[in-house]
Amino acid sequence: MSRCAAILIAAFVFSLSFTAPCLCGISPHNVGVVANLHATLAGMSRRIADYYCATAGIPQANIIEINVWPNEDIAQSDWSGESGWNLAGQIRSGLITQLGVDPADPANDPIQVLVLCYGVPSRILGDSGGLTGEATSVDSYLTLLFNTDPDLGPDVIDGDSQYGYPGNHGVANPYYQKDQDFTEFRISAANSISYNENTYKMRYLVCRLDAYDSIMENVPGYGTMPRDVKDMIDRGHLAVSQSGRFVLDEPWHSSYGHSEYTATASRKRTKRPRPWRSTGR
């Protein structure tokens, strides 16, 4: 299995150690780690989950075990449980029965972040891709877990994409650019996604520990895992500072708009007015 470089970047964000003051009010106990036990993975996903939890101080009890075919792409029916693997149902069941989550009580939900380990499918197939297509990501659907749709009933994610669930359309992330602890944001009025005359609320932050598997490394006490995944965990553990200089590599062509993004981000920084600079590539 292989993943794109973008996933490496996204996964690194939440591979940070929790020994420092917690980012967004998140502690190790607020993190749920999802590992895929499918036989074809030969225990790889669980080994990564164990190593990550031990390194970041996350309780082993927070590991949610699932068993699904480890393809990157899955059908809507495999996600929803209409047939096949029921990925959504397995994760939901682990949160409720294992971690004590009450679907109707986000204010007291002990889990704020879901970390998906190597081997968890990443895309739900649809008729087409893009912002208006029906293909979507597993990560996007999981952010809205436990929502209720007036037409479909509890857990709107169980419905087929034809009903217009916002996870498979280009809707804005309500937490984008918010300077607020996610604990507070999750129960605030700002946490609102309007789509097709219905309102949905973001429930979890979702990220991954995943990478290309071309180079493997034997980790004493745990076994083999992709070197890039191990490096993400190790480097995150060492990144205890919440301030400093950051370098973001921009695309070769400015028409992608990233230059304006970094310029805007720099203007919003008060301690260091120009912490990000283009590499000129």
Please list the rounded mean pLDDT of every run of 10 residues in the chain (281 residues): 35 42 73 98 97 97 96 87 84 96 95 97 75 75 79 41 45 85 94 81 94 90 96 86 65 54 58 40 37
- The predicted pLDDT at position 251 comes to 57
- The predicted pLDDT at position 252 comes to 53
- Give this prediction's pTM: 0.77
- The predicted pLDDT at position 280 comes to 40
Parallel, antiparallel, or unpaired for β 216-219 and 73-74? unpaired
- The predicted pLDDT at position 221 comes to 97
- The predicted pLDDT at position 161 comes to 36
- The predicted pLDDT at position 130 comes to 55
Contact (CB, 8 A) for 173 and 119: no
- The predicted pLDDT at position 125 comes to 85
Contact (CB, 8 A) for 202 and 196: no
Strand partners, 33: 63, 115
- The predicted pLDDT at position 154 comes to 40
- DSSP SS3 for 128: coil
Residues 6+ apart with CB under 8 A from 219: 47, 51, 225, 230
Which whole-number Å values give the CA distances from 23 to 3, 26, 61, 158, 224, in the listed order?
Answer: 26, 6, 22, 31, 30
- The predicted pLDDT at position 246 comes to 66
* Pairwise CA distance, residues 187 & 67, whole Å: 32
Contact (CB, 8 A) for 113 and 102: no
Contact (CB, 8 A) for 113 and 205: yes
- The predicted pLDDT at position 155 comes to 43
